Amino acid sequence: MEQKTVLHNKWRENVFFVSLIVAASVFPFSEALVSISAGLLLFQSLAFQLSKNRNKELQYRSIILYPISIFGVYLIGTIFTLDFSFALYELKKVAFWLIIPLAFYLSPRLSDKRVYLVLLIFVISVTVASLFSVGKVVLNDYLQIGDFRSNSMVSHIRFSFQVILSLILVSWFALNSRKIPIKIHPLVFVGVFLWLGFFLFFLKSLLGILAFIGTLLVFLVFMVFYTKRRKLKLLLIALVLLVILIPSVFVANVVKGFYNFENIDASEVEKYTPSGNTYSHNFEDGTRENGHLVNVYVCEKELRQEWNKRSEIKYDDDLNGYMLGATLIRYLTSLGYRKDSVGMSKLTENDIQLVLEGVTNYKFKNYSFSIYPRIYETVWELDYYTRTGDPNEKTLAQRIEFVKASVVLIKENPLFGIGTGNWVKEYNEVYDRMETKLLPEKRGPSHNQYLNYLVKFGLIGFLWIIFAILYPVFRLGHRTNFTFILFLIAYAFANLGDANLESHMGLSFFVFFYSLFLWNSTSEMKKSIL
């Protein structure tokens, strides 16, 4: 009977291990497969119980109640709901807090080698997905990809978090290659780290980049105080300064270039084109490209006529939600050309193709692998928003409006919030009072996880959720778990710019690795910060 029990338990561990491999490998590729793998994890944990559950050997069995209680907060929040159908929708979104931790808790502990294999499979999957994404850009002429956001197979923002975790993991593997049973040369991990570091910036998710830089800064500052060696401490201080200085200088140069204005005297502008048609000049609209005013020296009659000769997609046709002519005018302005037949004659066939792809600035054409266009676009959006107050179709500007509305709701419901399922109604009422220029279809909650918690559950619910996430980490001895702590720090930064724990991919990814690290980190991972 004893032998039968041992064989059953061994088989049970194999099922759990295979389930984890499947789940870890699909995160970069498919949201649907993530849902299926989460369901399989729960199914195997309930259907194939161990004769003796090794997780129950943990001293603190009640730990499982903490992550599950976060789902309970949403459930309690339905008491205040005015829309039960929407409350049910929100509960379905956050069901991962119930499904995944329970699946891990009811499943056996993995051996160290199997834990490392799961993590390596995840890194390999992310690396393969990154190669596919870069390949799409290289083959852009054939695939007709119009936006960098289309490069990844899942949300480029959520994928950036997977890249960050992979960077953390390969760093730990490189520094601890002699301690792990899987023999891979450290230089392999170094190579993967360099590739994924490049890819993170290529992916152009500003939130992902900021989360990575913030995490790196926290780690370097910690190491400055942690290390006792003077030379190493000085080197780390230099690295901290570089991590702060390089992005700051880069952004400052983009901003400086944007605001390097061309001054035009409204009383001296020419009124007619070389062909004798009338120019349109609007000096009240301060929109600029590369310092040039967009809405001066515009002759749409000539632009329409000359453009329609060179493209099957016409001047007045829709292009990505805008009239093509608007993109053309911005593109010509970025080159410093007047918006007339002469300016059109200077455009190359490559320029025409870029306009058809929705490119608004000629500088972007040589920046396929650079973060420059994203920063420039953000500066342009903020400049337009501050001048006009119109946040529509502008990512950061819309989020500023979301934050303003969230602050109002938090002030009005400070302790217990507005409840689960009520945000659509409550936010719309606040937006109406704010007299926002946001179109009704663009209105939404804050893209900040902390504000979202405060809005829905008030200060009491917010503090409990943070406690429920962090308490198990320290209670189960993860204070020096390099991978786990940096993973949490990265998500802490990322949650400042998006509600990641209320999105399918953001929450499933976080809870999966949170649970994996919480109950299956190896002794080597737990005992050393490096």
Q: Tell me the pLDDT tens digit for each residue of 49-58.
A: 654 544 444 4
Please answer whether residues 436 and 401 qualify as being in contact, where contact means their C-beta atoms are separated by less than 8 angstroms.
yes
Average pLDDT over residues 177-202: 89
**pLDDT mean across residues, the chain:** 88
Write out pLDDT tens, residues 327-361.
999 999 989 899 999 999 999 999 998 899 888 88
Please answer whether residues 342 and 273 qualify as being in contact, where contact means their C-beta atoms are separated by less than 8 angstroms.
yes
Q: What is the pLDDT of residue 286?
A: 80
Inform me whether the pLDDT recorded for 212 exceeds 70.
yes
Confidence of residue 151 (pLDDT cuts 50, 70, 90): low
Q: Report d(CA 210, CA 199) in Å as an integer.
A: 14
Write out pLDDT tens, residues 82-132.
888 888 999 999 999 999 999 999 998 899 999 999 999 999 999 999 998
Single-letter amino acid, residue 490:
A
Q: What is the pLDDT of residue 145?
A: 47
Q: What is the pLDDT of residue 149?
A: 56
Average pLDDT over residues 377-400: 87
Structure tokens that stand for 486 in this block: 């940096």
Q: What is the pLDDT of residue 7?
A: 67
| Nearby residues of 191 by Cβ (< 8 Å), 6 or more positions away | none
Inform me whether the pLDDT recorded for 2 exceeds 80.
no
Please answer whether residues 167 and 193 qualify as being in contact, where contact means their C-beta atoms are separated by less than 8 angstroms.
yes
Please answer whether residues 334 and 362 qualify as being in contact, where contact means their C-beta atoms are separated by less than 8 angstroms.
yes
User: How big, in percent rounded to 5, are the helix, strand and coil portions of the chain?
Assistant: 70, 0, 30
Out of 75-84, 242-251, 399-408, least confident range: 75-84
- E-state strands within 1-145: none
Q: Report d(CA 359, CA 355) in Å as an integer.
A: 5
Query: Looking at per-residue confidence, does 2 or 255 come out higher?
Result: 255
Out of 2-11, 91-100, 117-126, 396-405, least confident range: 2-11
Average pLDDT over residues 120-145: 80
Q: What is the pLDDT of residue 52?
A: 52
Confidence of residue 423 (pLDDT cuts 50, 70, 90): confident
Write out pLDDT tens, residues 452-481.
999 999 999 999 999 999 999 999 989 999
Q: What is the pLDDT of residue 289?
A: 87
Please answer whether residues 443 and 431 qualify as being in contact, where contact means their C-beta atoms are separated by less than 8 angstroms.
yes
Q: Report d(CA 349, CA 334) in Å as an integer.
A: 17
Q: What is the pLDDT of residue 56?
A: 47
Q: What is the pLDDT of residue 441?
A: 86
| C-beta contacts of 357-360 below 8 A and 24+ residues apart | 357/146, 358/146, 358/147, 358/319, 358/320, 358/327, 359/327, 359/331, 360/289, 360/327, 360/330, 360/331, 360/334
Using DSSP's 3-state secondary structure scheme, residue 390 falls into: coil
Q: Report d(CA 165, CA 24) in Å as an integer.
A: 12
CA 161 → CA 330, 336, 392, distances in Å?
33, 39, 26
Q: What is the pLDDT of residue 118?
A: 96
CB atoms within 10 A of CB 10: 11
Rounded to 5°, angle at Cα 382 from 376 and 385: 140
Confidence of residue 140 (pLDDT cuts 50, 70, 90): low
Inform me whether the pLDDT recorded for 178 exceeds 90.
no
* Residue among 518, 493, 469, 495 nearest 70 (CA): 469
Q: Which residue has the tokens 């195997």?
A: 44
Confidence of residue 144 (pLDDT cuts 50, 70, 90): very low
Inform me whether the pLDDT recorded for 392 exceeds 80.
yes
* Residue among 24, 27, 205 nearest 129 (CA): 27
Average pLDDT over residues 245-272: 85
Average pLDDT over residues 235-259: 91
Share of the chain above pLDDT 70, in %: 92
Out of 22-31, 354-363, 509-518, least confident range: 354-363
DSSP structure string for 278-331: BPB--SS---EETTEETTSSB-HHHHHHHHHHH-SS-TTSEETTEEHHHHHHHH
Q: Report d(CA 316, CA 274) in Å as an integer.
A: 23
| Nearby residues of 528 by Cβ (< 8 Å), 6 or more positions away | 176, 480, 482
Rounded to 5°, angle at Cα 153 from 149 and 154: 80
Confidence of residue 143 (pLDDT cuts 50, 70, 90): very low
Share of the chain above pLDDT 90, in %: 58
Inform me whether the pLDDT recorded for 249 exceeds 60.
yes
Average pLDDT over residues 243-260: 88
Q: What is the pLDDT of residue 147?
A: 52
Helix axes 156-175, 504-520, angle to 10 degrees: 20
Q: Report d(CA 483, CA 219) in Å as an integer.
A: 11
